[in-house]
Structure 1
Amino acid sequence: MNYLKKNIVMGAMIIASLTACNKDVLDLTPTNDITAEQVYKDFTGYQQAFLKVYGSLVMTGGGGPGATDLAGIDAGQSDFLRLYWNIQQLTSDETLCSWNDPGIPDMNYGTPDASNIMIQGIYTRCIYTVTLVNEFLRESTPEKLAARNISQTADIESFRNEARFIRAYQYWVLMDLFGNPPFVTEENLIGTTAPNQIMRPQLFDYIETELLDLETKLADPKKNEYGRADKAAVWTLLSKLYLNAEVYIDQPKYTEAITYTTKVIGGGYALASSYANLFLEDNYATSKDEIIFSLNYDGVQTQNNGGTTFIINSTINGEMIPANFGVPTGGWGGNRTTSTLPLAFGDYSGATDKRAQFFGDKITNDDLGVFTDGLRITKFKNMKSTGQAGASQGGTFSSLDFPLFRLADVYLMYAEAVLRGGTGGSLAQAISYVNLIRQRAYGNATGNITALTLDFILAERSRELYFEAYRRTDLIRFGRLTGSSYIWPWKGGTLAGRSIDEYRNLLPLPNSDVIANQNLTQNTGY
């Protein structure tokens, strides 16, 4: 399919024994007697270490679905997308999980504490990826390359810049969820002192500075290999940074959000002709003009119980015929909708708005532990657009790539930034972009709008982006996650829903790390 997707497993397996995640999660130390000199002895070693950086976003470890790079954390709770998806979705108005696994009930209620296993998992996974980037950058300086007689310096410089982007993205996730995480770059010596905590405004500045530097250094839009970062990925992340700036640093940056969404839109992207194809196994071919940056999965070579394997299997059960979703032996029956999500469509049958892809006939969520109490989601499938099943080891694992950044989100960010007072755009253009999204959804112009409000944008983001790990961040930006002004089923732990405290707009730092690192101060309220 592509070099990155086919070879990411090799880099992960070969480099797996080099790195360990110990009590101090920002320490990266050699283990198993494999040294940096052995790993980075030639250009192939650098390629493999670079692939490990990408691999850390889509794998739990190099030894199969039960392996994990994160010491002390179950493999099922160490995959980046599974963890990020659960936090973004389960604390929101879109999703409920029927499982009673550790950490899930509190996530359903939007009230996780500092010992929640998913909070520990996402925190550790992100910081682990940061450590991989830092190690790669330390070992790929011009001095190290010269000493090792590595001649492919231009290629490795490209690897370095992409790795820096991955680090900036992981720090953005940490800033968005936790606010004030520990902070280390390649400039810090390993194992000498405990990492210092960085405050949200300073981390915002760091991420912004990194991305502004990288926008001149990465490949032009759509010129890199599919699944690898380019300038458009940088511009999209800058757009997200600026759109949420009032939350992060209490300063509006909507003009900057318009500037960078406009750059993405001008980068040669277009909406895929079919909304459904975005979430089918061959989306890398059918929807490549819309997908800006993806997490690439291979259900044969790099399988794990997270990623799109988790998203697909957790949203279907046997009644839904797993073979129709490309996972004939799967169907775990866990995640379904709150009643709020289908009601956002009005007519949620899919007859008018084709984005409404639901299964079942019970919209209410009377029993949290019953998978069929709520409509099920049929949006994600390990199936090709031709009707053939996607590649799958054992009939459970998925080869569907996850569209982490896509153009429809950029259109909606542009429209929101205009409504919030940013300059450099226009309301007419914002309405035009929203109508492009709705024309695809309806198949014609019957869903077109002539006016925009912020409430409409929030609802449209749910209709377009549901179950794609956006919702918690969106609700916080709109002031709807906490408090009592907006209630949904099981918010706060009651069927009718109730207010939750404002401090929960930030997650707690994991207790284990706060205890281990005296430089860390726990977030207010926890």
Structure 2
Amino acid sequence: MQKIKFKNIYAGVLGLFTVLLNSCTGDLDTDPRVEQTVDNILENDPEAYKGMLAKIYSAFILTGQETSDKTDVVAPDAGASSYIRNYWNFQELTTDEALNRWGDGGLDALNHLDWTAGNNFVRILYDRIYLEVAMANNFLRETEGAENTEIEDFRNEARFLRALAYWHAIDMFGNVPFVTENDPVGNFEPPRYTREELFNYVENELLEIAPLMKAPRSNEYARADRVAAWMLLAKLYLNAEVYTGEAKYSEALTYLGKIINEGGYTLEPNYQDLFLADNDHSAEIILPLASDGLYSRSYGGTTYIIHAGISNSTMDPAEFGVNGGWEGNRTTSAFADLFDDPDTEADGRALFHTEGHIRENTDYTAFNNGYAIAKYRNITSTGEMGSDISGEFVDTDYPMFRLADAYLMYAEAVVRGGSNGDITTATNLVNQLRERAYGNTSGNITSSQLTLDFILDERGRELYWEGHRRTDLIRFGKFTGTDYLWPWKGGSLSGSGVESFRTLLPIPLTDLSANSNLVQNPGY
């Protein structure tokens, strides 16, 4: 993979790419600043096609067209409107891995799992997903019939990014509007696709484009290759029983085998190096969302994760390469319990800050009630600060997909009965992660210890604060109900049961009223 900072293109396209936004849902809550036409830009600068593609990538992590205080979707706070910031919040704040102290604008509802269809953050996440779909659709319209190999690569990547956004729609919202580049632009009410229908569409898209995408590790940095498509297929198949009622663990193992044996990605020797300011050098991260303190600034992504996880009173922000802490997110005692003792744990993944903090979450509005997470830093592996000397914006890339996740997915699919793998290989893959964590074989397990309960806990220990936990808990039947409780689940300190319909978010009222084809998800 070329170590060219594709992320640096973002700065040149913030005011360039324009999308016909209303082609998607009929009333997408977007900022009118992004509505222009692209014809003249493309006529004058063929390289703008690459800029358009960069905008589709950057929309996962940046907030707007110009600067960090602008947003492409209507939101009271531009910084809080980032795609991955909202996705991360719903994957983490709704689980045992994170609690938010602020509680403003509807964040309390995420801590308690009691949001409504009018929740602002539900609407922002939904709008971000469909803005991404709209941009990909528009790019595909603009490049239709282009006879150029490079543009064909761009088109395949745009289809992949659309599939990624639609996967988030499947996972978060279930039954949603469906639109492609072949649908009318303008005043159009897209049909409602069921979760299963959208699953089938995304599966077929990925099966078609995966062999057409660039070979493993041959694309520019921060652009998707064939392995990213395999990983998304494996994610889709691993969760198929939740999405469609039909298990597809054997299919998941087919693509996990490809990732592991043909992908060319390798484990990072040092776990924390995966979450530092120079993690763009890692051969483990399959799909990063690129951040750059100089060229791609926003208050979403890892800028949010790092700042919001730091206290100015109990921690030194300079040790994290930033100019101050926002005292927003820390973890729960239930998650800390996955490690024997975060203060002395031999498992090197236990990156907690405990000084000045208590383990319990008695008062979730007090930041020191719960251990802080010291996993992400805007410091390089050689101890240098990121490129923004002010310490406001970070260089640390967000690891959307990485190889260790594929190892754990392989183990899970085998234990769940998939036929294209074996328990010996699965145990070996898990032990590779544990040997990295422990620095030796003292944490290794046997095949008989590789149970579903162990795998869920191990996924927590390996992948915490990377945006997987909600989906994992749902797949393991632990997200709702009373089988697994953590502090403030259901709104009580000791945790309480949550209704099963909470495994899906509601369709926002703004789109429900604008599209007569839509039906609200049950329970809302």
For the 8 Å contact 1:178–1:509, the answer to whether it is kept is yes
Alignment of structure 1 residues 443-458 onto 2, 5 Å: 443-450=439-446, 451=448, 452-458=450-456
Displacement of 1:25: 4.4
Q: For residue 420 of structure 2, what is the aligned residue in structure 1?
A: 424
Q: For residue 291 of structure 1, what is the aligned residue in structure 2?
A: 285
Structure 1 gaps, min length 5: 146-150
Mean Cα displacement is larger for which, 110-119 or 176-185?
A: 110-119
- What is the distance in 2 between the residues matched to 1:290 and 1:165? 20
For the 8 Å contact 1:50–1:136, the answer to whether it is kept is yes
- Does residue 414 (structure 1) correspond to residue 410 (structure 2)? The answer is yes
3-state SS of the aligned residue for 2:129? helix
Mean Cα displacement is larger for which, 397-406 or 38-47?
A: 38-47
Q: For residue 148 of structure 1, what is the aligned residue in structure 2?
A: none
- What is the distance in 2 between the residues matched to 1:89 and 1:501? 18
- Does residue 265 (structure 1) correspond to residue 267 (structure 2)? The answer is no
- Does residue 376 (structure 1) correspond to residue 372 (structure 2)? The answer is yes
For the 8 Å contact 1:326–1:389, the answer to whether it is kept is yes
Displacement of 1:28: 9.4
- Which of 494, 498, 502 lines up with 2:496 in the alignment? 498
- What is the distance in 1 between the residues matched to 2:235 and 2:260? 14
Report Cα offsets for 1:256-300 as digits up to 9, x if no partner. Answer: 111111100011221100001000010111x2x211110000112
- Does residue 399 (structure 1) correspond to residue 402 (structure 2)? The answer is no
For the 8 Å contact 2:31–2:71, the answer to whether it is kept is no
- Does residue 2 (structure 1) correspond to residue 4 (structure 2)? The answer is yes
Counterpart amino acid of residue 69 in structure 2: G
For the 8 Å contact 2:331–2:373, the answer to whether it is kept is yes
Q: For residue 44 of structure 1, what is the aligned residue in structure 2?
A: 47
Displacement of 1:50: 1.4
Alignment of structure 1 residues 13-412 onto 2, 5 Å: 13-15=15-17, 24-25=26-27, 34-41=36-43, 42-72=45-75, 74-142=77-145, 145=146, 153-266=148-261, 267-285=263-281, 287=282, 289-318=283-312, 319-327=314-322, 329-349=323-343, 351-360=345-354, 361-392=357-388, 394-412=390-408
3-state SS of the aligned residue for 1:293? strand
- What is the distance in 1 between the residues matched to 2:376 and 2:30? 36
Structure 2 gaps, min length 5: none
Counterpart amino acid of residue 397 in structure 1: F
TM-score calculated relative to the size of structure 1: 0.95
Relative to structure 1, the CA distance from residue 517 to residue 77 in structure 2 (aligned partners, 3 Å threshold; closer, same or farther) is: farther
Q: For residue 512 of structure 2, what is the aligned residue in structure 1?
A: 514
- What is the distance in 1 between the residues matched to 2:513 and 2:444? 54
Report Cα offsets for 1:146-204 as digits up to 9, x if no partner. Answer: xxxxx7x1111110000000000000001000001111000001124211111001000
Counterpart amino acid of residue 87 in structure 1: F
Q: For residue 11 of structure 1, what is the aligned residue in structure 2?
A: 13
Relative to structure 1, the CA distance from residue 65 to residue 19 in structure 2 (aligned partners, 3 Å threshold; closer, same or farther) is: farther
For the 8 Å contact 2:30–2:74, the answer to whether it is kept is no
Relative to structure 1, the CA distance from residue 224 to residue 370 in structure 2 (aligned partners, 3 Å threshold; closer, same or farther) is: same
Displacement of 1:62: 2.0
Displacement of 1:58: 1.6
RMSD: 1.8
Report Cα offsets for 1:389-447 as digits up to 9, x if no partner. Answer: 01126321111001110011000000000000000111011000000000000000000
- What is the distance in 2 between the residues matched to 1:28 and 1:38? 23
For the 8 Å contact 1:27–1:191, the answer to whether it is kept is no
For the 8 Å contact 2:358–2:370, the answer to whether it is kept is yes
3-state SS of the aligned residue for 1:297? coil
Relative to structure 1, the CA distance from residue 481 to residue 47 in structure 2 (aligned partners, 3 Å threshold; closer, same or farther) is: same
Q: For residue 479 of structure 1, what is the aligned residue in structure 2?
A: 477
For the 8 Å contact 2:33–2:72, the answer to whether it is kept is no
